Amino acid sequence: MARVTDDRRFAEVSLQVNGELRPLSLDTRTTLLDGLREHLGLTGSKKGCDHGQCGACTVLVDGRRTLSCLVLAVTLDGAEVTTVEGLAGPDGLHPVQQAFLDRDAYQCGYCTPGQVCSAVGALAEYAAGWPSLVTDGEPALTDAEVAERMSGNLCRCGAYPNIVAAVQDAGAAR
């Protein structure tokens, strides 16, 4: 649990970020997004709307998709946070990252880190058998299914067809 310091505006918190324990002393009003970007130098997650509407800040918290601009970092003491920087392994890119490259599923790239993290979370939900709003019977990675699962992530460039194809490729590779 986060420990409040003598100055009640600050708290000590420890996060497991991309596999590394990261102790932080943060203003209690600091969002996870600002903690990652400003205190840990992990700038992959983007500040788009800062209202949880665009998905550019999506990261994984304990394996679940999370809009990091909406969560206070001190509420996550002890949590495991995975950012786009932490997805690749020693053998290369994460399959979702590779699929995004192979399918040219980005244009300006601003939304791409959030799209990639969201796709990783969405594919985990799909693999676990979680239905979406459009699931009819057994889940299948149809265009409509992927679009629904990724609907919280906006792309102003309109790269949606390639994003859907990349998510389908990565899902098939699992």
Kindly list the averaged pLDDT for each block of 10 residues, start to end, along the chain of length 174: 71 97 97 98 96 97 98 97 97 97 95 98 96 88 96 95 98 87
Beta carbons of 49 and 95 less than 8 angstroms apart: no
pLDDT of residue 2: 72
CATH number of 3-86: 3.10.20.30
Terminal Cα-to-Cα distance of the chain (whole angstroms): 35
pLDDT of residue 174: 76
Beta carbons of 123 and 171 less than 8 angstroms apart: yes
CATH number of 95-173: 1.10.150.120
Task: Indicate whether this model's pTM tops 0.95.
Answer: no
Q: What's the rounded Cα separation, in Å, for the pair 62 and 16?
A: 10
For residue 70, give both structure tokens: 């909406």
Torsion of CA 108, 113, 117, 123, to 10 degrees: 30
Domain spans of the chain, in order of start: 3-86, 95-173
How crowded is residue 104: how many other Cβ atoms within 10 Å of its Cβ? 12
